[in-house]
Amino acid sequence: MSQSACVISPVKAEYQPKGISGKVAGLDAYVVGPDSKHVLLSVYDIFGFWDTTKQSADLLSEALHVKVIMPDFFRGKPWPMNAFPPRDEEEQKVFDEWFATVASVSDRKKDLDAIAQELKSQGVEKIGVYGFSWGAKIASLAGYEGTPFTGVVIVYPAMMHGGGEKQVVPESIMVSGEDSKYLGVPAAFFPSKDEPRDESDKYWSTLKQSRPELVEKSVYHYYDIFHGFAAAPANFHDEANRAAATELYQRLANFFHTIF
């Protein structure tokens, strides 16, 4: 595949998703693209399925000519956008309980591993993962040594000592600047302006020191735009937001094109 073959189409403000409803490892899923030996898994943010997030899947599938699957890890129980952030202690308790059950990182990582096992049993040769915010933590864990995945993309994760959700989310979903030392595959890391720059830089510097063999195919790019600009909280009617999302998706396409 030539580099020109993976050019992302511009993000649209008004958009009708192209995918279909499907199943993967027992989970409902949004599925788009042809059957292929290479598959991308999209891990959404805490708000679950949104047309903005689905558009990323459609555009990556079109550019890379692969199937993209977005599993419903929350099993129909995403966190409501209008309930974020929690307004008082009682709402915070409910939010914390949701993270401990519906959005449990350890449990949802097991879901991801089960999906990879099923895809491999069906003859899929390479699987990439990209995740937004909460999903970025899942993607980060998916890249650890011994992983069945070929490469991972971490998009504006909540991070230690900061992040777009720093006041309300538990530490269990945060990505630390030192987490990259556990990687076993190439990673692309795209923090937003709302993540702490020192932790973001530390993620990249730690990777260069601890796993230099991964650096050539890995990517670090810092964005001067808000946490959430490329998934559920995005406002694609805003020209700057739309342009930033298009640029991000192009970088994702370039990364997966390189590792696939």
Q: What is the CATH number of the domain that holds 222?
A: 3.40.50.1820
Residue of higher predicted confidence among 228 and 2: 228
Q: Per the domain annotation, does 141 fall within a domain?
A: yes
Any bridge partners for residue 155, and if so which? Answer: 132, 190
Which pLDDT band, with edges at 50, 70 and 90, does 168 fall under?
Answer: confident
The rounded distance, in Å, linking the Cα atoms of 4 and 185 is 25
Cα angle value 47/50/54 (rounded, 5°):
125
Domain containing 250 equals 20-259
The yes-or-no verdict on residue 56 having pLDDT over 70 is yes
Cis omega (within 30 of 0) on the bond before 78?
no
Q: Per the domain annotation, does 195 fall within a domain?
A: yes
Q: Per the domain annotation, does 154 fall within a domain?
A: yes
The yes-or-no verdict on residue 230 having pLDDT over 60 is yes
23-41, pLDDT tens digit by residue?
A: 999 999 999 999 999 999 9
Residue 54 near residue 70, CB atoms below 8 Å: yes
Q: Per the domain annotation, does 37 fall within a domain?
A: yes
Q: Per the domain annotation, does 11 fall within a domain?
A: no
Percent of the chain beyond pLDDT 70? 95
Long-range contacts of 16-24 (CB under 8 A, 24+ apart): 16/51, 17/51, 17/54, 17/55, 17/57, 17/58, 18/58, 19/54, 19/57, 19/58, 19/61, 19/68, 19/70, 22/69, 24/69, 24/71, 24/115, 24/118, 24/119
The rounded distance, in Å, linking the Cα atoms of 252 and 109 is 21
Q: Per the domain annotation, does 15 fall within a domain?
A: no
Which pLDDT band, with edges at 50, 70 and 90, does 163 fall under?
Answer: very low
C-alpha dihedral over 70, 73, 76, 80, to 10 degrees? -90
Which pLDDT band, with edges at 50, 70 and 90, does 170 fall under?
Answer: confident
The yes-or-no verdict on residue 47 having pLDDT over 70 is yes
Any bridge partners for residue 175, and if so which? Answer: 159
Number of domains in the chain: 1
Q: What is the pLDDT of residue 4?
A: 46
Q: Per the domain annotation, does 4 fall within a domain?
A: no
121-145, pLDDT tens digit by residue?
A: 999 999 999 999 999 999 999 999 9
Helix axes 51-64, 239-259, angle to 10 degrees: 40
Q: What is the mean pLDDT of residues 84-107?
A: 95
Q: Per the domain annotation, does 189 fall within a domain?
A: yes
